[in-house]
Structure 1
Amino acid sequence: MPIAGSPKKLAQDIAGGYMMLSPPMLKAYTPADLKTILANLGMVAREIRQEQVSQEDVLAVKAKNMKLSRLNQAEIVVRAYCKKKRIAV
Structure 2
Amino acid sequence: MAISGSPKKLAQDIAGGFTSLSQSGLKQYTPADLKTILTHLAIVTRDLRAEQIPLEDVPAIKAKNMKLSRLNQAAMVIRAYCKKRRIPI
TM-score, with length taken from structure 1: 0.99
Aligned length in residues: 89
Give the match for residue 63 of structure 2: 63
Whole-Å Cα distance in 2 between the matches of residues 14 and 76 of structure 1? Answer: 13
Give the match for residue 75 of structure 2: 75
- The percent identity for this pair of structures is 69
TM-fit CA distance, 1:61: 0.3
TM-fit CA distance, 1:6: 0.1
Give the match for residue 33 of structure 1: 33
Give the match for residue 47 of structure 2: 47
Deviations 1:69-88 (A, max 9, x none): 00000000000000000001
TM-fit CA distance, 1:52: 0.5
TM-fit CA distance, 1:60: 0.4
Q: Which amino acid aligns with 2:5?
A: G
**CA RMSD in angstroms, aligned pairs only:** 0.3
